[in-house]
Structure 1
């Protein structure tokens, strides 16, 4: 039997139906703290609960396209700003009882970018908001989204150790102090300014100088700070370890 004959006689209905959705753990820094985008569901199941932005993947979409579409719907981001969003696949979640409607497998994605706009709730959502990650314990979360969020936050924190993705939380030109602020915010730990500055500049390709400085000095009237941009490194070697990880190694 050739392939055409096989496909002509193939009956998809002979197998249990499985739907595919995508959920997005979208992170940004607002007012000096790490925020996560959540929507409050307006319809069952889990009406009134908070959930990650997401939805069913359309027949003509690949997984990343579906995730970008869902994120754009909730944030109002157009194509001209979407290119600044870092998006990567986080994991697959397929527990048979995770959704009461039917067997649904979610392919979750992690996204982060600087200064993402206020969200706009889609038609099936009662509300959408950027919420500080420190306040998530007070929210009722739908489905298995608590687990997805936990794994997304850990992925983001870990990736800042060995990749230059912290720069994606910043504008194209930034100071080392601003970069340190990203690490402190995402990791939730204060960092020694001098040690951090030295470590960053010792990693080949992490950042490169623009040759320019800030227009003004620091709050205490100090010298103007040098401006940097992201370098061409894809991995950080040596890695910038979280304080707790450094203690473990010692």
Structure 2
């Protein structure tokens, strides 16, 4: 903790209460659906409402460390390594009824995870299908519906031009497994052979292992197995189908 001394003439009570929080959006493919991890708040405000895992940043820790710590404390999911990136900062003056709170949101992409176990100030923790939240079947606390919407759009966009779709599957994987990630994240069906052709013609996206194994998402169907290649950016990009392209299928 910092041992800095307040300068002379500085009166902390003259300033309004202000806090910084970190929230984490954990996206995964679960039961064939793009899903998000939520916790039921055990304390006010919004007691009994579902929310993203997160909490106040300690004075001596970075915001990313807060996001990882809160994930463990509120859901019991201690994950050794996963892709975590900063999403954006949310600073609307009235976003938290307690005081002025600015939150930095983080986004994690992960393969299917074990069932979470609630802890700390969370009453329950579970995965929800993103489409159920988008349909208004689940109401989130604070401005977490907006944070989730931004995170989902980030995911939908990033798998167009990066290899992050592979972060949703265990290695090795079949092309069918990878296709199911795109279908779940984008919410649309893709033509299997066209998708395979695009993936295999994109330099560095995947590398064949020259063996066959069971699919993770397609009922154990046996297929050729792949691992991620050396690329991080896709050239050319694998773009979402337009509305007209969806109608043609």
Q: Same fold (TM over 0.5)?
A: yes
TM-score by length of structure 2 reads 0.88
Q: Distance in 1 between matches of 2:243 and 2:201?
A: 19
Partner of 1:51: 51
Partner of 2:63: 63
Aligned equivalent of 1:100, options 97, 102, 106: 97
TM-score by length of structure 1 reads 0.87
Q: Does 1:242 align with 2:240?
A: yes
Cα deviation, residue 58, structure 1: 1.2
Q: Distance in 2 between matches of 1:10 and 1:67?
A: 35
- Deviation readout 1:192-243 (Å, 9 max, x if unpaired): 1111001001111111112221169xx89x9x52111011111111001001
Report the structure, 1 or 2, having the larger helix content. Answer: 1
Cα deviation, residue 246, structure 1: 8.5
Note closer, same or farther for the CA distance 1:96–1:7 as it changes in structure 2 (3 Å cut). same
Partner of 1:26: 26
How many correspondences in the alignment?
Answer: 237
Q: Distance in 2 between matches of 1:180 and 1:163?
A: 14
Q: Does 1:228 align with 2:226?
A: yes
Cα deviation, residue 245, structure 1: 7.7
Q: Distance in 2 between matches of 1:114 and 1:145?
A: 22
Q: Distance in 1 between matches of 2:147 and 2:9?
A: 35
Residues 75 and 116, structure 1, Cα contact 8 Å, conserved in 2? no
Residues 73 and 120, structure 1, Cα contact 8 Å, conserved in 2? no
Q: Distance in 2 between matches of 1:10 and 1:195?
A: 69
Note closer, same or farther for the CA distance 1:245–1:202 as it changes in structure 2 (3 Å cut). farther
Partner of 1:41: 41
Partner of 1:131: 128
Unaligned runs of 5+ in 1: 1-5
Q: How does 1:134-213 map to 2 (within 5 A)?
A: 134-136=131-133, 137-213=136-212
Q: Distance in 2 between matches of 1:129 and 1:183?
A: 23
Unaligned runs of 5+ in 2: none
Residues 76 and 117, structure 1, Cα contact 8 Å, conserved in 2? no
Aligned equivalent of 1:110, options 107, 112, 127: 107
Measured on the aligned residues, the alpha-carbon RMSD in Å equals 2.5
Partner of 1:3: none
Note closer, same or farther for the CA distance 1:82–1:75 as it changes in structure 2 (3 Å cut). farther
Cα deviation, residue 8, structure 1: 4.5
